[in-house]
Amino acid sequence: GESVGLHLPTLSVQEGDNSIINCAYSNSASDYFIWYKQESGKGPQFIIDIRSNMDKRQGQRVTVLLNKTVKHLSLQIAATQPGDSAVYFCAENVMYSGGGADGLTFGKGTHLIIQP
Amino acid sequence: IAGITQAPTSQILAAGRRMTLRCTQDMRHNAMYWYRQDLGLGLRLIHYSNTAGTTGKGEVPDGYSVSRANTDDFPLTLASAVPSQTSVYFCASSDSGRMWQPQHFGDGTRLSIL
């Protein structure tokens, strides 16, 4: 089946630098994408989302870019801080059989490591 | 603080035993979900519920059952646990009555089946 994947399992950046986490998706029918942050021992925490009719969306220190032509999604974190250390997941909206609730298909995650 | 509460936070269980994982949300979200998270496989959907009284199967439903008697609660039951069900289980909810709403997650139940 179609799935969401990530290019890099681990990303190490210097504190204060910008981080870019990439994600490739293959389901052309997906129309809603979400980035989650997961810290050790915690559940996924919503960061930012984007609809397929948008190319870019900005939040506080984060920006999500969507390139539908190549089915690529990225999360940019500005001025990375130690608290940004976590695993980041992209997820896409998929309708499961039976209709109704929108289950999410998750990528396997990228571990962001912040070096002092 | 509004959110999702899961219980227990962790459990060690003998194979063959029955176990119910509890999930309660106070956001009045109509949709709820159960995922399992395994190393190297990310999160996979087990079951979901659009609204109270309805449930559906996700990607990996075998060996699990759910019920949705009311809006707030969505328990997940393992009728006869097997070691392959060792995982971290996350409950989530969303306001699916509105378009483009993200799912919000609890902090998980870490389950070990021996």
Question: pLDDT tens digits for B62-111?
Answer: 999 999 999 999 999 999 999 999 999 999 998 876 667 789 999 999 99
Distance from CA of B89 to the nearest CA of A (A): 9
- Place A54 in a pLDDT band, splitting at 50, 70 and 90: very high
Select from B43, B56, B107 the Cβ nearest to the Cβ of A96: B56
Residues 6+ apart with CB under 8 A from A55: A65, A66, A67
Distance from CA of A50 to the nearest CA of B (A): 9
Tell me the average pLDDT of chain A: 86
Distance from CA of B25 to the nearest CA of A (A): 14
* Cross-chain residue pair A42–B103, CB shorter than 8 Å: no
Partners of A43 on chain B (C-beta within 8 Å) are 4, 90, 92, 105-108
Is the pLDDT assigned to residue A99 strictly greater than 50?
no
Sequence-ordered strand ranges (E) for A7-61: 10-14, 19-25, 32-38, 45-51, 56-58
- Place A7 in a pLDDT band, splitting at 50, 70 and 90: very low
Select from A42, A51, A96 the Cβ nearest to the Cβ of B100: A51
For residues A9 and A23, the answer to whether their CB atoms sit within 8 Å is no
Tell whether B39 is within 8 A of chain A (Cβ): no
Residues 6+ apart with CB under 8 A from B97: B30
Query: Per the structure block, which two tokens stand in for A9?
Result: 């399992």
pLDDT digits (tens, 9 = 90+) for B3-36: 999 999 999 999 999 999 999 999 999 999 999 9
Partners of B105 on chain A (C-beta within 8 Å) are 36, 43-45
Nearest CA in chain B to A102: B96
